[in-house]
């Protein structure tokens, strides 16, 4: 995705922040398992905090939503809802075509990352950093990097683009079977994928020569399915 916005324009190095900020901090309770309904945004506080800024936090990939909900629970338990305001998990709607079936799915733009709006006090930093599933803030050295406002706005805008894109289940060089059209039951090899159009170019052997044929995602399937 060529125009994808990176989490930070200054530095995207994953840094496990090990230096603990000075100051008195409350004891962190043991984390409990939670169930999550895959939200894009989790509001921790009902009000805004002008001192709260957005930071990128690295998490275990595939567990972003669970980590976000756990952080919300911890903020409530520790009385930090005035410091930890919200968690954003950037996603984008795409049309997935698999085994001839079309469905709309939410795909993560930055797998393994979530954005946290927080006033980075000692106790709020510790609550975020020690949440189960969090591996560290993204930053330079031991200082988390604050995201500029224009990057947050760009990410939110990218999430709400009007036309859903197609999510390909194929890879270039993969063997596929054509399931519809004049070349039904032909076997071929994927030579190009166009997610924007939901189309795939397949090399099919015709008269002993490989001929490129453009097909809709619905017209092909992986060999063996």
Query: Residue 99 pLDDT more than 50?
Result: yes
Q: Would you state the pLDDT for residue 197?
A: 83
What confidence score (pLDDT) does residue 80 get?
96
Determine what percent of the chain is predicted with pLDDT higher than 90.
40
Q: 41-166, what's its fold?
A: Alpha-Beta Plaits (3.30.70)
Q: Would you state the pLDDT for residue 31?
A: 40
pLDDT value at 20 more than 60: no
Confidence check: pLDDT of 17 > 60 = no
DSSP characters over the chain: -TTPPPS-SS---B----PPPSS--PPPPPP--------SEEE--SS--TT-EEEEEEE-TT-HHHHHHHHHHHHHHTT-TTTEEEEE--EEEEEEEETTEEEEEEEESSTTEEEEEE---HHHHHHHHTSTTEEEEBEETTEEPBPPHHHHHHHHHHHT-SSPEEE----TT-EEEE-SSTTTT-EEEEEEEETTTTEEEEEEEETTEEEEEEEEGGGEEETT-
Place of tokens 């930055």: 110
The per-residue pLDDT of the chain, averaged, comes to 79
* Of the listed ranges 59-68, 116-125, 159-168, the one predicted with least confidence: 159-168
- The domain over range 168-222 is classified in CATH as 3.20.20.140: no
Among the ranges given (2-6, 105-109, 177-181), the one the predictor scored with the smallest mean pLDDT: 2-6
Q: Where are the domains of the chain?
A: 41-166, 168-222
**How confident is the model at residue 183, as a pLDDT?**
86
pTM: 0.61
* Section 90-96 average pLDDT: 80
Give per-residue pLDDT as tens, 128-183. 999 999 999 998 877 899 988 888 888 888 787 655 667 778 889 999 999 888 88
């Amino acid at each position: 995705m060529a125009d994808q916005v990176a989490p930070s324009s200054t530095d995207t190095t994953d840094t496990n922040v090990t230096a603990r900020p000075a100051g008195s901090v409350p004891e962190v309770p043991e984390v409990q398992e939670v169930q999550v309904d895959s939200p894009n945004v989790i509001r921790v506080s009902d009000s805004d905090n002008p001192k709260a800024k957005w930071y990128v936090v690295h998490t275990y990939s595939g567990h972003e939503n669970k980590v976000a909900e756990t952080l919300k629970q911890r903020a409530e338990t520790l009385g930090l809802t005035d410091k930890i305001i919200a968690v954003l998990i950037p996603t984008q709607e795409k049309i997935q075509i698999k085994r001839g079936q079309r469905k709309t799915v939410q795909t993560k733009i930055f797998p393994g990352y979530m954005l946290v709006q927080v006033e980075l006090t000692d106790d709020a930093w510790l609550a975020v950093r020690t949440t189960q599933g969090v591996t560290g803030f993204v930053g330079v050295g031991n200082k988390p990097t604050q995201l500029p406002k224009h990057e947050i706005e760009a990410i939110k805008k990218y999430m709400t683009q009007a036309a859903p894109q197609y999510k390909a289940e194929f890879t270039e060089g993969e063997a596929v079977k054509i399931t519809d059209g004049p070349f039904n039951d032909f076997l071929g090899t994927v030579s190009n994928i166009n997610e924007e159009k939901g189309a795939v170019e397949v090399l099919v052997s015709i008269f002993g020569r490989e001929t490129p044929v453009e097909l809709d995602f619905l017209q092909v399937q992986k060999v063996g399915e």
